[in-house]
Amino acid sequence: MLPCAAAVYKWMTLTNQQTDRIKYYVFFNDGDDKITANKFIGSTGGLYGIDTSNFNLVLNTMKTAMKNGNGDDLPENDIEALSFGIQQCSNCSNIIHIADNQATPRDMIILRNLTKPVKVIVCQLNAKCFKSKFDKYCSQYRRLDSCNRTRYDSISRSQVLTLYNPYEFSVRYKVLCTAPRTYSIVEPQGDIHPQHSVDIIVRLLDISSNQNVVQKIRIQYYDSRKSPDALGKRDIACTILPHKPSEHNFDDDSNNSSSRIRTATKILHQETRDPVALVVLMILSAICAVILILPTLADNENSTTMRPPSYLHMTTNSKIVASYILGKLTFSRTKKNKMLPSRGATQTKSGEATFSQSTGMIYIFNIIVGTGALALPKAFHEGGYVLSTFLLLILGFFSYISATYMIEAMAIANYMRRKIVHRRLGTIVPTVNDDEETADESDRAPLLPAAINSEDIYASTGTEERHDFDIVEKIEMGEMADMFLNKLGLVIFYFCISLYLFGDLAIYGSAVPKSIRDVICTYEPVNCNTSITSNDLCWESSKLTRHHVYQIFVVVFFWTLGLFVFGNAQKTKFLQMVTTLCRWSAFLSMIILCIIHLAKRSSSQHPDPIRPVIFHFRSLPPLFGICVYSFMCHHSIPSIISPIRSKNKLSYLFAYDYICIALFYLLLSLTAVFTFAKFEDLYTLNFRPTTRCNQSAVNVPKVLAYYIALFPVFTLSSSFPIIGITLRNNLETVFKSCLNVQRKQRSVLVVCVLLIPCTVSILTENINFLVGFTGSYAGVAVQYVIPALLVYNARRQAQLKLRGPIHFPNQSFFQNRYWVFCVLLWAWLAIIVITIYHILPASIFV
């Protein structure tokens, strides 16, 4: 509309001088420079409305709309602006739409929301395209008296192809066609900026002939930085239909056809970086670094007089070898990273880099195994190991059912999103032609005459079959709740998820500083039977109390890891790999130490063996809450599985993880209850270094004792960014209708995500209180109730759209609706038990 701005300005001025019948103006710029990936039909924004009481303000409002954005892409949200005007001016009887002849409305699906007649004034007309474009707008508003042309041969004959560049460099494209006299390509060549998209309009010039004849449109891609050789191509078949297909038949064809609508961009794959190899390199680098740090053993020096043991002293030759290996590793990784082009990383639809299924398993394991794993041994000890084992397996099974429900609901949500896009298609129906190239000479001929610089465009490219229900777009729980739940369900969802995630961050923000504080504080009372409180000194030579040191570490923790919340889950990949190595080494160390202790005690015929409790129903409610908390990951599933490259058999991937985690929990807890007679709140505190007032039941080397004591720092630090990112994404979904979430607004949301739990952590260090408050009700709702309601409503909507049963790869194994009811019944039972525990006296559970 920018070329028409002067004409529109003049028209508005003359209209204001000649009549007073115009009551309200709406100016729209298609989202205030919002990128296309963040535009949603019906809520794109960029709308500016004002009444005509002060015409100078009207003109200033128009200038403001023009200044704040130009829409980023060619298609516009006309119907959204019209609906907004009807809502703002309810007493207006007619709507005048000044339309851009060069832009295609993208939101025709919500045309039914218009309740008043619309008269169209078309801008940027010329003799060549006047008929087609004018008839296009008449067909859009064909039910109105102002546009009465409804015959099929007069409606729009154009199609928009969107090309998206997910890479960090510009991509040059060129569009070729087999029938240049039949189809006209607007902007057939150009550049696509990094992580931007362009819209290409294909216009049908001649409908009188060639009906039902398949023609080809080919899109070629080039790297702007390198040689002119084509990176890849994509063929799109165009067919002129003799009659207009009905909306019902068209939807069925879109859903059931074997030729799926695909994107027009060619994803270039990078060599997969094996996370196992990365971990091995990290281990070798760490060993070499430790060798270089250790003291050197001199030839004439007696090692027995030194304070460190002799085996910790390295010779000069060993240090030279270690430095050589470390240098080689560093040089090889640096050289490899420089040789790999930035375009090699596969990317999601939103432009985020992806990772393999094995890396996804690590992410899932890290997000599940957190504070709950450290609290399980004490819960097993108090509730009885037989009762605890049975309850842990049952809760893990129901948690896995809910996880598969989240995956299925996300797949259906992706299908619903693509169905909205499919409905925008006009009479030119593009389908991707992935058949093998034939040897026919007509196929080998150039697609354009020689005068247009034809090229050999039949470079081979790979394509991949895509299902309508494939998960190609990250849709958070909040967006799925908005799609599948009613208003009451939305309110309950956002309350529960926000309460849980804020509480989760507060728990992490208290557990990590508390663990560090307990390790570095060395003050011990004279009488070892006296309990140490938060008001005691941290060091004898300092005036800082233990609580003051704890608060300092809370601020440092949120300040350090809070920076990751500004990014995305993929940017924490290195952090996930490091913490996974620390996690397994610490847990395996605790398990092995307990097994060694049990073996020694069994061989020495210990006179007083540990006899743990078998059943203790009084501890059932807190045991229930800890087990629920131990399997929590559902709020972060969209952020974790969206960047996974191959999303086939995600339910199997989660099954492997859940089985490994359940066996791991049992091994950790059962070895603990038969080793220790007394448990701390965090299991790692049972392995603290031996001091005058702390005598551990297990003989632990001092270095290993410190490492295990600091283990919660690494465990919780890896999960903190993912939970913070998930909370930020859900808050963005909540506020997207009332503010345009750009970089500045996102920073404000991140500050809120960090400030609230940081304040709670500073005020209290009672982890048991935080865990109980967070997991009792909100945890049950997030893990059981919300996934069950989402998948139940998602299945109903999908079945209504397809008019029958649905089948797709990422469906849950638990398709029967009675499984959904069983999960909901289990959740209500859990809430009732927890409520009884909090209301009735504890003696009832004896």
pLDDT, one tens digit per residue, over 385-436 is 888 899 889 988 999 999 999 999 888 888 887 765 444 433 333 333 333 3
**Pick the residue with more confidence: 81 or 134?**
81
Structure tokens at 772: 């109980």
pLDDT at 775: 66
**Is 737 a member of any domain?**
no
pLDDT at 514 over 80: yes
Number of separate helices (H) and strands (E) present in the chain: 25, 12
Assess whether pLDDT exceeds 80 at residue 545.
yes
What is d(CA 440, CA 423) in angstroms, rounded to the nearest whole number?
Answer: 35
What's residue 404's pLDDT? 92
Spatial CA neighbour of 723 closest among 501, 394, 482, 574? 501
pLDDT in tens, 478-504: 788 888 888 888 888 888 888 888 888
- 427 domain residue, yes or no: no
Same domain, residue pair 809 and 793: yes
In a shared domain, residues 212 and 91: no
Angle at 190 between CA 189 and CA 195, to 5 degrees: 130
The conformation of residue 217, written as its DSSP 8-state character, comes to: E
400 shares a domain with 386 = yes
Which comes out higher in pLDDT, residue 608 or 432?
A: 608
User: Per the domain annotation, does 302 fall within a domain?
Assistant: no
Cα-Cα end-to-end distance for the chain:
76
618 inside domain: yes
Rounded Cα–Cα distance for residues 122 and 752 (Å): 46
Per-residue burial over 626-665, b if 16 or more Cβ lie within 10 Å, else e, is bbbbbbbbbbbbbbbbbbbbebeebbebbeebbeebbebb
Q: Is 675 left (phi over 0), alpha (psi -120 to 50) or beta?
A: alpha
Is residue 502 in some structural domain? Answer: no
The domain boundary residue, chosen from 269, 285, 303? 269
The pLDDT of residue 190: 85
669 shares its domain with 787: yes
According to the per-residue pLDDT averaged within each range, which of 247-256, 298-307, 685-694 is highest?
A: 685-694
One domain for residues 580 and 629 = yes
Average the pLDDT over each of 300-304, 459-463, 468-472, 613-617 and give the range with the smallest value: 459-463
Residue 288 lies in a domain: no
Looking at the fold, whether 231 and 122 belong to one and the same domain comes out as no
Residues 643, 648, 649, 654, Cα dihedral to 10°? 0
pTM of the model as a whole: 0.53
Query: Picking from 216-220, 239-243, 392-396, which range would have the lowest pLDDT averaged per residue?
Result: 239-243
Residues in Cβ contact with 737 at an 8 Å cutoff, skipping those fewer than 6 apart: 43
The model's confidence at residue 208, banded by pLDDT at 50, 70 and 90, is: low
- State whether 165 and 87 are in the same domain: no
Co-location of 207 and 90 in the same domain:
no
Domain count across the chain: 3
* DSSP strand pairing (183-185 vs 196-204): antiparallel
Residue 797 CB: number of other CB atoms within 10 A?
Answer: 15
Identify which has the larger pLDDT, 247 or 714. Answer: 714
Q: In this predicted structure, what is the pLDDT of residue 305? A: 39
Domain that holds residue 583: 348-358+370-417+473-496+568-700+766-845
pLDDT higher than threshold 80 for residue 797: yes
Looking at the fold, whether 126 and 71 belong to one and the same domain comes out as yes
pLDDT of residue 277: 60
Percent of the chain with pLDDT over 90: 2
pLDDT of amino acid 429:
36
Judge if 116 and 179 occupy the same domain.
no
Asked which of 495-499, 529-533, 787-791 is least confident by mean pLDDT, the reply is: 529-533
Q: Kindly report which listed range (92-101, 689-698, 812-821) carries the lowest average pLDDT score.
A: 689-698
pLDDT band at residue 448 under the 50/70/90 scheme: very low
CA distance readout (Å), 706 to 477, 521, 694, 701, 751: 39, 13, 14, 9, 33
Task: Identify whether residues 607 and 622 lie together within a single domain.
Answer: yes
State the DSSP string of 377-444: HHHHHHH-HHHHHHHHHHHHHHHHHHHHHHHHHHHHHHHHHHHHHHTT--SS--EE--PPPP--HHHH
Domain boundary among 102, 129, 154: 154
Instruction: Write out the DSSP string of 70-139.
Output: --SSS-B-HHHHHHHHHHH-TT---EEEEEETT--BS-GGGGGG--S-EEEEEES--TTTHHHHHHHHHH
Point out the domain boundary residue: 154, 172, 190: 154
Tokens of 682: 């965090």
Query: pLDDT for 330-379, tens place per residue?
Result: 655 544 444 343 333 344 554 455 677 777 777 788 778 877 788 888 88
For 499-537, the three-class secondary structure string (H helix, E strand, C coil) is: HHHHHHHHHHHHHHHHHHHHHHCCCCCCCCCCCCCCCCE
Range in 246-260, 426-440, 731-745, 823-837 the model is least confident about: 426-440
Whether residue 235 is contained in a domain is answered as yes
Whole-number pLDDT of residue 586:
82
User: Is residue 466 situated within a structural domain?
Assistant: no
- The answer to whether 689 and 705 are in contact (CB under 8 A) is yes
Average pLDDT, integer, range 765-771: 69
Residues 252 and 121 in one domain: no
Is it the case that residue 257 has pLDDT exceeding 50?
Answer: no
What is the chain's mean pLDDT, rounded? 71
**Could you tell me the CATH number of the domain that includes residue 207?**
2.60.40.10
3-state secondary structure 15-54: HHHHCCCCCEEEEECCCCCCCHHHCCCCCCCCEEEEECCC
Q: Provide the pLDDT confidence category of residue 288 given band limits of 50, 70 and 90.
A: confident
pLDDT in tens, 586-598: 888 888 888 888 8
